[in-house]
Amino acid sequence: MRTTMLGSGRAALALALAVLTLATAGRSGTDAQPPDPALRVGARDLAGTVSSAGGPEAGVWVIAETTDLPTKFTRIVVTDDRGRYMIPDLPTASYRVWVRGYGLIDSPDVPATPGRSLDLRAVPAPSPASAAEYYPALYWYSMLRVPEPSEFPGTGPEGNGIPPAMKSQAQWLDVVKTNGCYTCHQLGNKATRTIPPELGDFESSADAWRRRLQSGQAMIQMTTNIGRLGPRGLQQFAEWTDRIGAGALPAALPARPRGVERNLVLTLWDWAGPKDYLHDEVSTDKRNPRINANGLIYGTTEESTDLFPVLDPVNHKATQVK
């Protein structure tokens, strides 16, 4: 099972920790090229280049994932200007390695073990729609139509459907972004910009959204927030979903990582159950982040379960406290 595309949801929850290091990256599918002499591959590293028919692929992600450890483990790096990558300090295991990037679709998995060079072949996206499946959720959420400033204050249910208490566009945006919907949810991901068939059959997308907002332990909070937008709010989310379902795509194209953004090494562990809502993690004291270095990490599952997941990031082991 590979790491789910960003913005499409995950069956198991993961904790992502990021550290800065020197890293290079590549594309997917193997190439029979000699190893780059500048890439010194240690016994725990994977390194190589990523390319496509257009040449080296700069600023794309190379992902190594394994289920051989006590938790599913993933490490991700970014390619440099020459399409080179280095995935450092991998635990001993068998990995599946592939390439993901804007303008691409995921390449086929390539089996690998640490301590070797591995050149990869990227797969360009065959269409704008297939490329957009990999865009950050916010690019899709930006397609939600925002009422014009002239429509505020609202004139109520018999007027423009916006409550009179909603005095400005900024106040409306505060609900759908800062202190409402986006506070807890990655709106715009696959699960929210579409209506999953598992949700049921509905006469309209507005009915589907009404049902969606009543799901889970936070239903009161969600229905309260959508109510702050008035009757028009639900219709706007339904219209957004319908437009995307009809093939509309984000107008803006995300840029690939560049500069110091390519120095990021991202490590993820799956350490909670499929139905656990992992809201927060505690690993240190932000006033002194040296505290508890390499120590246990504790998760909080809000109201979804009666346990605290615990991760040992050194031994890649997950336990629970009830």
If pLDDT is split at 50, 70 and 90, which confidence band does 35 have? low
Would you say residue 296 lies in a domain? no
Task: Indicate whether 29 and 119 sit together in one domain.
Answer: yes
The total of other beta-carbon atoms located within 10 Å of residue 223's CB is 13
Any idea of the CA torsion for 124, 125, 127, 129, to the nearest 10 degrees? Answer: -160
If pLDDT is split at 50, 70 and 90, which confidence band does 182 have? confident
Task: Indicate whether 56 and 158 sit together in one domain.
Answer: no
Could you tell me which residue, 14 or 164, shows the higher pLDDT?
164
Residues for the chain: how many in total?
322
Could you tell me which residue, 172 or 221, shows the higher pLDDT?
172
Task: Indicate whether 18 and 122 sit together in one domain.
Answer: yes
Nearest to 25 by CA among 90, 84, 88: 84
- 318 vs 272: CA distance, rounded Å: 8
Task: Indicate whether 117 and 34 sit together in one domain.
Answer: yes
Q: Which amino acid is at 120?
A: L
Would you say residue 97 lies in a domain? yes
Would you say residue 4 lies in a domain? no
Task: Indicate whether 109 and 143 sit together in one domain.
Answer: no
72-95: pLDDT as tens digits? 999 999 999 999 999 999 999 999
227-269: pLDDT as tens digits? 999 999 999 999 999 999 999 999 999 999 999 999 999 999 9
Q: Which amino acid is at 59?
A: G
In sequence order, the β-bridge partners of residue 266 are 18, 76
User: Counting Cβ atoms within 10 Å, is residue 46 exposed (0-12), middle (13-18) or buried (19+)?
Assistant: buried
Task: Indicate whether 20 and 90 sit together in one domain.
Answer: yes
On the question of pLDDT at 14 being above 80, the answer is no
Would you say residue 142 lies in a domain? yes
Q: Is 308 helix (H, G, I), strand (E, B) or coil?
A: strand
On the question of pLDDT at 22 being above 50, the answer is no
Q: What total number of domains does the chain contain?
A: 2
- Taking the model in full, what pTM does it have? 0.84
Task: Indicate whether 124 and 18 sit together in one domain.
Answer: yes
Would you say residue 212 lies in a domain? yes
Task: Indicate whether 141 and 108 sit together in one domain.
Answer: no
On the question of pLDDT at 180 being above 70, the answer is yes
Strand order in the sheet with 110-112: 14-20, 264-270, 73-78, 61-66, 95-100, 110-112
On the question of pLDDT at 147 being above 80, the answer is yes
On the question of pLDDT at 33 being above 90, the answer is no
Q: Is 260 helix (H, G, I), strand (E, B) or coil?
A: helix
Task: Indicate whether 172 and 92 sit together in one domain.
Answer: no
Interior angle at CA 188, CA 185 and CA 194, nearest 5: 105
pLDDT value for 36: 62
If pLDDT is split at 50, 70 and 90, which confidence band does 23 have? very low
On the question of pLDDT at 161 being above 50, the answer is yes
Task: Indicate whether 98 and 187 sit together in one domain.
Answer: no
In sequence order, the β-bridge partners of residue 123 are 105
H or E element that contains 136: none
- 180 vs 163: CA distance, rounded Å: 16
On the question of pLDDT at 307 being above 90, the answer is no
Nearest to 192 by CA among 268, 229, 245: 245
Containing domain of residue 73, as a range? 14-128+254-270
Task: Indicate whether 69 and 92 sit together in one domain.
Answer: yes
Tokens of 110: 């390539």
Task: Decide the pairing of beta strands 110-112 and 95-100.
Answer: antiparallel
Query: Which CATH number covers residue 97?
Result: 2.60.40.1120
pLDDT value for 206: 96
What's the mean per-residue pLDDT of the chain? 88
Q: Is 21 helix (H, G, I), strand (E, B) or coil?
A: coil
Would you say residue 113 lies in a domain? yes
Would you say residue 307 lies in a domain? no
If pLDDT is split at 50, 70 and 90, which confidence band does 306 have? confident
- 26 vs 85: CA distance, rounded Å: 5
Would you say residue 196 lies in a domain? yes
Could you tell me which residue, 182 or 64, shows the higher pLDDT?
64
pLDDT value for 37: 63
Q: Is 191 helix (H, G, I), strand (E, B) or coil?
A: helix
Task: Indicate whether 103 and 172 sit together in one domain.
Answer: no
